[in-house]
Amino acid sequence: MKISIIVAKAKNDVIGKDNQLIWKLSSDLKLFKKITSGHHIIMGRKTYESVGRPLPNRVSVVISRNKNFELPSGHLVVHSLEEAIQVCIGRHLDQVFIIGGAEIYKQAIKIADELLVTQVEASPEGDAFFPYIDPKKWQIISSEHFEKDQNNQHSFDFVIYKRITK
């Protein structure tokens, strides 16, 4: 099963502030929807609460230490990243997407096979960060540029990294 991280991060690695996203990039949201639809998406409890509901056409797998945390039927609560991965392996999935936030990315970058990074041309203030992408461990295999316009507050590059080594 391929484990893919998907993230939108700024030049200074900021990904969020006050449990919110910090930019309006509708082309990026469309990419996110296209790539993740039909799949299981793994996320931390805070990211789930920031969105506020399960995203349509996807199975949400939410990681929390809270044994009483509940989700609408069809979605799953697990209590570690390892459990999230094991549940998805048990369902014989070809691929799973890890969609954040900072705490989960920090753990998941150690086990992911691929990083799908929207590299945003901005350096905003924030309180949630993506971990360092070590070029000794990760190689860029494709990159596509998107120019800013009335629906996209900043220019960005959609960059795919493959793991070279653990």
Ligand X SMILES: NC(=O)c1ccc[n+]([C@@H]2O[C@H](COP(=O)([O-])OP(=O)(O)OC[C@H]3O[C@@H](n4cnc5c(N)ncnc54)[C@H](OP(=O)(O)O)[C@@H]3O)[C@@H](O)[C@H]2O)c1
The footprint of ligand X (CB under 6 A) covers: 7-8, 15-16, 19-21, 43-47, 50, 63-66, 69, 79-81, 99-104, 107, 128
Q: How far apart are CA 147 and CA 66, in angstroms?
A: 42
Q: Could you give the CA distance from residue 129 to residue 142 in angstroms, rounded to a whole number? A: 23
Looking at beta carbons only, is 83 or 140 nearer to ligand X? 83
Q: Which is nearer to ligand X, 66 or 164 (CB)?
A: 66
Q: Name which of 106 and 164 has its Cβ closer to ligand X.
A: 106
Q: Find the helix or strand (DSSP H, E) in which 8 lies.
A: strand 2-10
CB neighbour class for 56 (10 Å; exposed up to 12, middle 13-18, buried from 19): exposed
Contact 100, 7 (CB under 8 A): yes
**For 72-166, where are the alpha helices, taking DSSP H only?**
81-90, 102-108
Give least dist CB 5 to ligand X, A.
9
Nearer to ligand X, 102 or 115 (CB): 102
- Shortest reach from residue 142's CB to ligand X, in Å: 19
Minimum CB separation from ligand X for residue 105, in Å? 7
Angle at 131 between CA 129 and CA 134, to 5 degrees: 150
Query: Could you tell me the smallest distance in angstroms from the CB atom of residue 73 to ligand X?
Result: 20
